[in-house]
Copies of this chain bind each other. A is one copy, B any other.
Amino acid sequence: MSTSSKRDSLEAIGEFGLIRQLKQQWSASSPWIVKGIGDDAAILKAHQGQQLLISTDVLVEGVHFNLAYQTPKDVGWRAGVANLSDIAAMGGTPLYLLVSMAMPARIPPRHIRELYRGLQAACGPYTVELIGGDTASSPSHIFLSLTIVGSVQANRALTRSRAEVGDRIYVTGTLGDSNAGLRILQTHSKHFRSSSLSAVEKFLTRRHVRPTPRIHVGQLLADRNLAHAAIDLSDGLSSDVGHVCEESQVGAEVRGKTLPLSSQLRAFAQRNNLDPMELALQGGEDYELLFTAPAKHHQKVLAVSKQTKVPIACIGEIQPKIFGQQFERSDGRKQKLAKKGFTHFSNR
């Protein structure tokens, strides 16, 4: 590779730089599109006061999953949740799924069926139908590409771009568990007995292999018009706060003391001499929701938490853009909210 082409390498511009470039390269607008590229899902106008949401995700063996420590069913589950979570982040109802895959010939079809079973199980609580897909052979790794279609009441979709200064920042569930669970799994082979895991390890690995999409929370936030902006935590808290700030042209302050951490994460961090806060900030694939809502809706947000039995914590506030994105550590010192969440093509 020449020096000049190095500057134009994927490592240099990164995933988001690339998406930005492509967005500029291909821009148009149609009256049917309420929101195009750049959010968790596209919004298309549909019938009967509904708008359609459509989103796609790609998962690559060796990058997003590893059959060395995950079963095909786990892979399917997590792929399903990654897609469902995009619909949750828009406040929508998942409806249809298209599944494309490319498989090396070494993969036995029963593994593919297992993968589909995991996908189906993740979609189980919702009425999601498989309406299409494509299969192909692959020379080496497994590739999965899922496209999900959902619906949302017209003009109620939660986007990343409507956070307002003064909004409170909320997250569902607890953060960083998936990251810790992955670290535990990576030290084991797929043939390990989960009975050999401690209760803490069982909890954390479960949070990694069986994440829960927050569909119901998203739906209630949208239906009741409570939230200004929302995103699902797939890249990691600091990255995903950054996405909302960038799209909404605002700043944010996140307070470490208020981050919801499970006791299991704290125990794991202590035992492994890790900073639990760092695990929560940088850990990707929690598939929890982050949303912003005006302070006046605080009680109503708590009511959503009570109704859905999903914990919701206020972790900070939206600030003017000039404020930047800051993190207040537990000891009160402030630091820049650094985006170290998972990005493809980065130099890590």
Contacts and interface: CB of A to CB of B under 8 A. Distances in A.
Given A139-B140, A147-B147, A134 B100 contact: no
A145 B56 contact: yes
Interface centre among A13, A61, A344 (most CB of B within 10 A): A344
Interface in A16-41: 18-19, 21-23, 25-26, 28-30, 32-33, 36-37, 41
A290 to B, nearest CB: 19
Contacts of A22: 112-113, 116, 130, 133
Contacts of A96: 30, 33, 42, 44, 54
Interface string A50-90: 00101111111111100000000000000000000000000
A18 B63 contact: no
Nearest to A101: B58
Given A18-B112, A344-B137, A10 B103 contact: yes
A131 interface: yes
Given A47-B46, A109-B9, A141-B139, A98 B54 contact: yes
A333 interface: no
Contacts of A56: 98, 100, 132-134, 145, 147
A9 B54 CA distance: 33
A269 B79 CA distance: 46
Interface string A93-116: 001101011110111111011001
Interface residue SS majority, chain A: mixed
A1 interface: yes
Contact count band on A: 35 or more
A178 B14 CA distance: 36
A105 to B, nearest CB: 5
A129 interface: yes
A96 to B, nearest CB: 7
A25 B113 contact: yes
A66 to B, nearest CB: 11
A232 to B, nearest CB: 13
A130 B98 contact: no
A58 B1 contact: no
A80 to B, nearest CB: 11
Contacts of A30: 95-96, 127, 129
Given A9-B108, A58-B101, A140-B140, 12 more contacts: A13-B109, A33-B96, A33-B129, A36-B132, A44-B131, A54-B96, A55-B98, A56-B100, A56-B132, A63-B136, A134-B145, A139-B141
13 contacts: A10-B103, A10-B108, A15-B135, A22-B112, A36-B131, A37-B133, A42-B132, A54-B131, A58-B102, A58-B145, A60-B138, A63-B138, A105-B345
Interface of A: 1, 5, 8-11, 13, 15, 18-19, 21-23, 25-26, 28-30, 32-33, 36-37, 41-42, 44-48, 52, 54-64, 95-96, 98, 100-103, 105-110, 112-113, 116-117, 120, 127, 129-141, 143, 145, 147, 149, 344-345
